[in-house]
A and B are shown apart, each in its own frame.
Chain A
Amino acid sequence: MTGRQRADRRAGIAFVAPAVVALAALALYPGLWVLWLSLQQRIPIFGISRFVGLEHFAFLVSDPRFWNAARVTVAFTVASVALELALGLIVALALWRQRAGRRVALSLLLLAWALPSVVTAKLFEWLYHPSAGLVNLLLGGRAFNWLGDPALALPALILADVWRTMPFVALLCYARLLTIPPEIYEAARVDGATRVAMLTSITLPLLRAILLVALLFRTLDALRAFDLMYVLTGGGPAGTTETLTVFAYRSLFQTLQLGFGSAISVAIFVVVMAIAAGYLRALRREGLTA
């Protein structure tokens, strides 16, 4: 090893050490600690703290509230991600052919995405107001109780989430579209390709990889989502919008069962990391490192 290489190695360690130490303390350590917590019975207000092994997980397997929350989480994730991807793709294609006013268009689009999700929750709470909300006004003065009716609350929640996050998908697709060289389309036009043929055999295949990236980001975010449902519906009515994250939070900080709540968190953790790993493998196959 030359002197220069040794110096670079020392510099490398010095450059990354502060960030690595910070992340070890603030992310890795809590990430491991939660596994340990999930194996304990911890109820601070009663001074209870003892090791119970896998008892919480054994309980969760037969807990109807857990399975209800799992179903709600899956329904929320599948519906909102599917709608976001479909709408986002359409909006990106529309923006792409936009000639004038692109800046204004992007600002209008990104507005919904940039707002704090608590603000989105407050916006939609008012829009869904049974007697004075804009949604019922636009439906001709109907009196749907969007957030109070067990059949309507989850669709209402999904709509709010789609509103908030569709712009992100649109932006990713739009940015990818801008990198496509226009010559490809000129060549296709010379060959007599129709607009539909150009869309299905040039544009969409080129968007495949970025759509997979968007699918990954959005799926993970939907599984981890908490703010919107906690503030908008609080998991109600009758648990119809109680996702795993809301169930975990309630157990942790409302009924103060740190061990049991951590066990639910660990379940979310495992599912999220498994999906992330699976997607990453799929992306590698696509020749993309994300």
Chain B
Amino acid sequence: MTTRARRGDLAILILLAVWATPFFWQVRTSFTPDSELLRTTSPLPARPTLAHYQAVVERSVMPRALGNSLAVATITTLVALALGVPAAYGFARLPVPGKGVLLLAIVASTAFPQIATVSPLYLLLRALDLRDTWTALVLANTSFALPLLIWLIAGFIREIPIEVEEAAFLDGAGRLGALGRIVLPLIAPGVASAALLTFLASWNEFLFAFTFTATEASRTVPVALALFPGVFEIPWGDIAAASILASLPPIIIVVGLQRWLVHGLVGGALKE
């Protein structure tokens, strides 16, 4: 590799690291003692501390919120997969009455603004006595996660040649058997990436969670962070520590599972 190309690569990495500075600054803030917070200008704290993390873990609602978020995002993802994978197979492979209209409705519902459905959903969940429960958030999040998941996975299924399944039918397999034994293993990377996107969307969701929760029994991480209490002044260090904890799952997904995530993200948009 030429020196010039290497210098170019390095320059791009540095520019992207600069772009990520707001996050790194928050990491720095989370380790900076209160006494330094409003004064220092150095890139690193003079006396790094874990006090903010200790405060968040021991004396705030964040641990509870992290548990709620983890549960709601996991259950939402499982529900969306259980409903979405068979539906995607049906739309991609089987004759369904009214298919065109149903698919159009599914695409349309991915564009629904949450602000438009939040008031009816609020009344619905109140009528079902589900306010301030995980169930309420799972149902609400399914409303935006499911259409996207069906759309993505139907796309992955259409990429598989139909002949692969025909062989299974000759062996006497039914549709369910073909889906489970032949199709699912082939689209596993696509399903994994769609599941990760669903988890991420549910983890990050704020409007529904803010509206349908009332106490720490069901408040998720974004809500707990938005409502982070300050007594006399804003606890910037504690907020920084809490926001780093809130960011850990998304960061793990982006950094650790990048290949799968990118596959799912661009898979849906690049179909021609």
Seen from chain A, the residues whose Cβ lies within 8 Å of a Cβ on chain B are: 5, 7-9, 11-16, 18-20, 22-23, 26-31, 33-34, 37, 91, 94-95, 97-101, 103-124, 126-127, 129, 131-132, 134, 137, 163, 166, 168, 171-172, 175-176, 179, 209-210, 213-214, 217, 220, 223-224, 226-227, 230-231, 245, 248-249, 252-253, 258, 261-262, 265-266, 268-269, 272-273, 276, 287-290
In the bound assembly, the distance between CA atoms of A172 and B270 in angstroms comes to 8
In the bound assembly, the distance between CA atoms of A18 and B6 in angstroms comes to 54
Main secondary structure of the interface of A (DSSP, over half): helix
| A31-B117 in contact (CB<8A) | yes
| B29-A126 in contact (CB<8A) | yes
| B96-A23 in contact (CB<8A) | no
Instruction: Select B269's contact among A13, A34, A210, beta carbons within 8 Å.
Output: A210
Known interface pairs A108-B16, A261-B119; A28-B105 also in contact (CB < 8 Å):
yes
With a cutoff of 8 Å between Cβ atoms, the chain A residues found around residue B217 in the complex are none
| B12-A123 in contact (CB<8A) | no
With a cutoff of 8 Å between Cβ atoms, the chain A residues found around residue B240 in the complex are 122, 126
| A106-B211 in contact (CB<8A) | no
Q: Looking at A19, A127, A172, which has the most chain B CB atoms within 10 Å of its CB?
A: A19
In the complex, the chain A residue whose C-beta lies closest to that of B246 is A119
| A105-B96 in contact (CB<8A) | no
In the complex, the chain A residue whose C-beta lies closest to that of B90 is A15
In the bound assembly, the distance between CA atoms of A137 and B38 in angstroms comes to 11
In the bound assembly, the distance between CA atoms of A121 and B207 in angstroms comes to 14
With a cutoff of 8 Å between Cβ atoms, the chain B residues found around residue A94 in the complex are 12, 15
With a cutoff of 8 Å between Cβ atoms, the chain B residues found around residue A262 in the complex are 119-120
Segment at the A interface, from B44-52, B55-63, B139-147, B185-193: B139-147
In the bound assembly, the distance between CA atoms of A224 and B83 in angstroms comes to 26
With a cutoff of 8 Å between Cβ atoms, the chain A residues found around residue B94 in the complex are 8-9, 11-12, 15
In the complex, the chain A residue whose C-beta lies closest to that of B96 is A12
In the complex, the chain A residue whose C-beta lies closest to that of B102 is A20
| A119-B271 in contact (CB<8A) | no
With a cutoff of 8 Å between Cβ atoms, the chain B residues found around residue A230 in the complex are 206, 226
Number of cross-chain contacts by CB at 8 Å: 290
Confirm or deny: B68 has a beta carbon within 8 angstroms of a beta carbon on chain A.
Answer: no
In the complex, the chain B residue whose C-beta lies closest to that of A20 is B102
In the bound assembly, the distance between CA atoms of A261 and B6 in angstroms comes to 56
| B87-A105 in contact (CB<8A) | no
Confirm or deny: B53 has a beta carbon within 8 angstroms of a beta carbon on chain A.
Answer: no
In the bound assembly, the distance between CA atoms of A161 and B74 in angstroms comes to 27
In the bound assembly, the distance between CA atoms of A57 and B217 in angstroms comes to 38
Instruction: Select A107's contact among B5, B115, B258, beta carbons within 8 Å.
Output: B258
In the bound assembly, the distance between CA atoms of A34 and B121 in angstroms comes to 9
Given contacts A8-B94, A118-B246, 16 further A-B contacts (CB under 8 A): A9-B97, A11-B175, A23-B146, A30-B124, A34-B116, A100-B1, A101-B13, A116-B247, A122-B26, A122-B225, A131-B38, A226-B115, A227-B206, A227-B222, A253-B211, A288-B272
In the bound assembly, the distance between CA atoms of A126 and B12 in angstroms comes to 27
In the bound assembly, the distance between CA atoms of A238 and B254 in angstroms comes to 38
With a cutoff of 8 Å between Cβ atoms, the chain A residues found around residue B21 in the complex are 134
Known interface pairs A8-B95, A213-B269, A269-B116; A111-B86 also in contact (CB < 8 Å):
no
In the bound assembly, the distance between CA atoms of A290 and B113 in angstroms comes to 18
With a cutoff of 8 Å between Cβ atoms, the chain A residues found around residue B265 in the complex are 168, 171-172, 175
In the bound assembly, the distance between CA atoms of A101 and B14 in angstroms comes to 11
With a cutoff of 8 Å between Cβ atoms, the chain A residues found around residue B262 in the complex are 106, 171, 175
| B146-A111 in contact (CB<8A) | no
Query: B159-200, CB under 8 A of A: which get 1 and which 0?
Result: 000000000000000111000000000000000000000001
With a cutoff of 8 Å between Cβ atoms, the chain B residues found around residue A108 in the complex are 13, 16-17, 19-20
| A287-B272 in contact (CB<8A) | yes
| B270-A210 in contact (CB<8A) | yes
Instruction: Select A31's contact among B112, B226, B255, beta carbons within 8 Å.
Output: B112
- For window 222-256 of B, CB contacts with A under 8 Å fall at 222-223, 225-226, 228, 236, 239-240, 243, 246-247, 250-251, 253-255
